[in-house]
A and B are shown apart, each in its own frame.
Chain A
Amino acid sequence: MTTFVFATGRYASGDWDSAPLVPPNLIDSVARYTKIDVAPTGVIVDLASTDVFDYPLIYVTGHLPFRFTSAERSRVQTYLDRGGMLFVDDHNHDTGGQFYKTATEELTKTAGRLSDLPNDHELYTCFFKFPDGPPDTSHELNGWGDNLVHKHLEAVTRGNRIEVLYSSKDYSSEWGYHPDTKRFLAVDNTKFGVNIIVYALTR
């Protein structure tokens, strides 16, 4: 059985490593809730390197302006063509912010136009059930950032498969805590992260 390794993408611009606690937290959740053979630690993979092909799901986040180098753009295009999936989360939870503006522009240039993902998409039901679509984050509910509760995630799809999943909900902040803290939560807020990983592994 091939072990699932959680990979965080490193890119030349911006702050790719702004959410270092997200990978171990999601790895913990996957191990906790599923039978998926998951590696205990994640890896960091350079988006311009051929190593990306060893990790068909890559998590990308940041606060700062986001640009691919030409090598990164070319590599990511090939990666998506061959079946890879990018999960990009705006750590600013701000649709007017620098990351959103530059990342959506760059992703459109690289993969195609982002569009709203319907809230009845199988991403929301493939493991845990989220009948109302993407779960809200505390940052949204507290009115930080753009003071909006984003009703949809955005995505670039090929056929019925998601190639790029883009979130303005700041899950990087929502999930950025030590896994041991999870026991103090009434509801584990990383469950949607498990759905993203299960979706990538099965669709």
Chain B
Amino acid sequence: MSTPLRAERGPVIEPPMSVTDAGLSGARRGAARSVVEWVLHAVAVGLVAWAWWRSGHPAPRGGVEVRAQGELRAALVRWTLGEPVARAHARFDAVPDVTTREWLAALATTGTRVTWDAGGADALPATAIDVERVADPRGLVRVGVAAPAGARVVLADRLGGIDSVVAPHGMVGFRMSPPVGGVTARVGGTVASAAAVDSLALRRIYVVGTAGWEAKFAVRALEEEGWTVDAHLLVAPKNDVVPRPPVVLDTAHYAAIVAIDSAAGGEHALIERYVASGGGLVIAPGAAAALARLTAGGAGAVERGALTLADSAPLRGLTLAPVTNLVAGAVALARRDALVTVAARRVGAGRVVQMGYTDSWRWGMAAGDSAAAYRAWWAGLVAAVAYAPVIGQGTTVTADPAPLVATVERLGAPVALDPVAAARRRTLPVAWVFAIVVLALLGEWASRRIRGVR
């Protein structure tokens, strides 16, 4: 370029360019601009075409999507409704709920490889819950929770917390009133849930024995626990206290028989037939000899209990005729020191519980605040053997009794993620594609306007 001349006074005057130089330069710039415009146009059209094509041909991309639990739900929506990924990896700090778990499992069926791992070694404690109806007129349920030893288990239903205990040996049990809307057990980040889905048809209880405190208080305890009791109490050879109308000992009428003493011997054939057909039988020590073919063992030498009957350990204060020489198939259910106090066995289709306390009524009378425990103890003996057919009952509660097991079952075992693969894949968002297209078209348009070309 030539140097401008400066006059004495007046404006700067540009020297005229050479016509040849100007023509060549303009032609080159025009050609370059045309190329640039063509490239910008091609980029815009290409991106639009690519976007149109991708909308009809979604294909998994390579790489890995790693999502923490908090952002997993949004990612699942995108992976499902947007562009699929080749591999989705979830990092859980708590066991996923049923919806998330099943969503991931469904995603795995569409071609995406789904893997997961836990945020820490103890992040996902294995927990399982089971709820079953107890043969009890008040509709009680028995809840069993399996959890790591020493873990704190928080039990709740829809109305709120119920109890919180430490599982000392990896298992804890609850006996409780019917829950509202199922039961959940929370252990750390794991929430297991279940509902009692069946109800039980409960019949009456038949108590047979000689008139005495043991029979009276057993009947009273069972009645106060909600059972309807028919008592046949022998008072004199020709004078019994008998139910009206006369009883028919079968499982259509009775859930269980309680035999208090040798008076049961008068009905031993009926009782044996009843048990063989599925009925339950509770045998007190006094009736063991009379029902020898049904007992879980013999009645041992009588041992006196502690001098005082303490609320804290009332069973220690009772006189005990321990169950000895258990028959084949019998199992000890409770002991006092080394002596078996309660044993059980199956006879035919029925179940038999034999207990060794001869004066359990003293627990009900003498042990102050544990009188309720006395009644529950008798109800528990009956519930252990009672014939109680299940009546199917629907439930709307979503159960997830063993969430960690279900997660492993549905998604496979946890997989440690390769650090390289864990790097987040950079994807080109749709907004950026749109922006590039707009900028390319604007650039082309501006260039053409400057050149004076429409």
Contacts and interface: CB of A to CB of B under 8 A. Distances in A.
Interface of A: 1-2, 4, 33-37, 50, 53-54, 56, 78-79, 82-84, 126-127, 198, 200-203
B217 interface: yes
Given A53-B362, A83-B365, A198-B211, A36 B235 contact: yes
Nearest to A126: B241
Nearest to B365: A53
Top 4 nearest A-B pairs (CB, nearest first) are A53-B366, A53-B365, A201-B211, A34-B236
Nearest to A52: B365
A182 B365 CA distance: 35
Interface string B191-227: 0000000000000000000111111110010000000
Given A53-B362, A56-B365, A82-B365, A201 B213 contact: yes
B20 interface: no
Interface of B: 210-217, 220, 231, 233-237, 239, 241, 261-262, 286, 358-359, 361-362, 364-366, 368, 371
A135 to B, nearest CB: 18
A34 B214 contact: no
Contacts of B239: 34, 127
B213 A35 contact: no
A33 B212 CA distance: 15
A200 B239 CA distance: 16
B235 A37 contact: no
B210 A203 contact: no
Nearest to B233: A202
B213 A127 contact: no
Contacts of A1: 210, 212, 214, 261-262, 286, 358
A53 B368 CA distance: 10
B309 to A, nearest CB: 8
Report which residue of A34, A36, A84, A201 has the largest number of chain B beta carbons within 10 angstroms of its beta carbon: A201
B311 to A, nearest CB: 12
A9 B262 CA distance: 31
Secondary structure class of chain A's binding surface, majority of residues: loop
Contact of B237 (A2, A35, A83, A126): A35
24 contacts: A1-B210, A1-B261, A1-B262, A2-B212, A2-B213, A2-B214, A2-B361, A36-B211, A37-B210, A37-B212, A50-B366, A56-B217, A79-B365, A83-B216, A83-B365, A127-B235, A127-B236, A198-B211, A198-B235, A201-B215, A201-B216, A202-B211, A202-B233, A202-B241
A32 to B, nearest CB: 10
A34 to B, nearest CB: 5
A192 to B, nearest CB: 15
A53 B365 CA distance: 5
Given A56-B216, A56-B361, 15 more contacts: A1-B210, A1-B262, A34-B236, A35-B235, A35-B236, A37-B212, A50-B366, A82-B371, A83-B220, A84-B365, A127-B239, A201-B211, A201-B212, A202-B231, A202-B233
B359 to A, nearest CB: 5
Contacts of A84: 365
Contacts of B231: 202
Which among A33, A35, A37 has the highest number of chain B CB atoms within 10 Å?
A35
Contact of B213 (A33, A56, A78): A56
Nearest to B223: A159
A146 B368 CA distance: 42
A36 B210 contact: yes
Task: Report which residue of A2, A4, A36 has the largest number of chain B beta carbons within 10 angstroms of its beta carbon.
Answer: A2
Contacts of A50: 366
Nearest to A200: B216
A200 B361 CA distance: 14
Given A54-B362, A82-B365, A83-B365, A4 B213 contact: yes
A202 B210 CA distance: 9
Nearest to A198: B235
B211 to A, nearest CB: 4
B138 to A, nearest CB: 18
A168 B233 CA distance: 30
Most buried by B among A1, A36, A78, A82: A1
A56 B215 CA distance: 13
Contacts of B234: 35
Nearest to A38: B212
A2 B363 CA distance: 13
A35 B236 CA distance: 5
Contacts of A4: 212-213
Q: Which of B212, B216, B368, B371 has the most CB of A within 10 A?
A: B212
A83 B235 CA distance: 20
B235 A202 contact: yes
